[in-house]
Chain A
Amino acid sequence: GAVVSQHPSWVICKSGTSVKIECRSLDFQATTMFWYRQFPKQSLMLMATSNEGSKATYEQGVEKDKFLINHASLTLSTLTVTSAHPEDSSFYICSASTGGPFFPQHFGDGTRLSIL
Chain B
Amino acid sequence: AQKVTQAQTEISVVEKEDVTLDCVYETRDTTYYLFWYKQPPSGELVFLIRRNSFDEQNEISGRYSWNFQKSTSSFNFTITASQVVDSAVYFCALSGTQKLVFGQGTRLTINP
- Which residues of A are interface residues toward B (Cβ below 8 A)? 2, 34, 41-44, 46, 49, 59, 91, 93, 95, 101-102, 104-110, 112
A106 touches B100 (CB 8 A): no
| Contact of B57 with A by CB under 8 A | no
From B42, B96, B107, give the contact of A101 (CB < 8 A).
B96
Choose, from B18-26, B43-51, B67-75, B79-87, the stretch at the interface. Answer: B43-51
Minimal beta-carbon separation of B85 from chain A (angstroms):
18
Majority DSSP secondary structure for residues of A touching B: loop
A44 to B105, CA, bound (A): 9
A2 to B107, CA, bound (A): 26
A93 to B43, CA, bound (A): 9
From A91, A101, A110, A112, give the contact of B95 (CB < 8 A).
A101
Query: Given A43-B104, A44-B91, are A109 and B99 also a contact pair (CB < 8 Å)?
Result: no
A109 touches B95 (CB 8 A): no
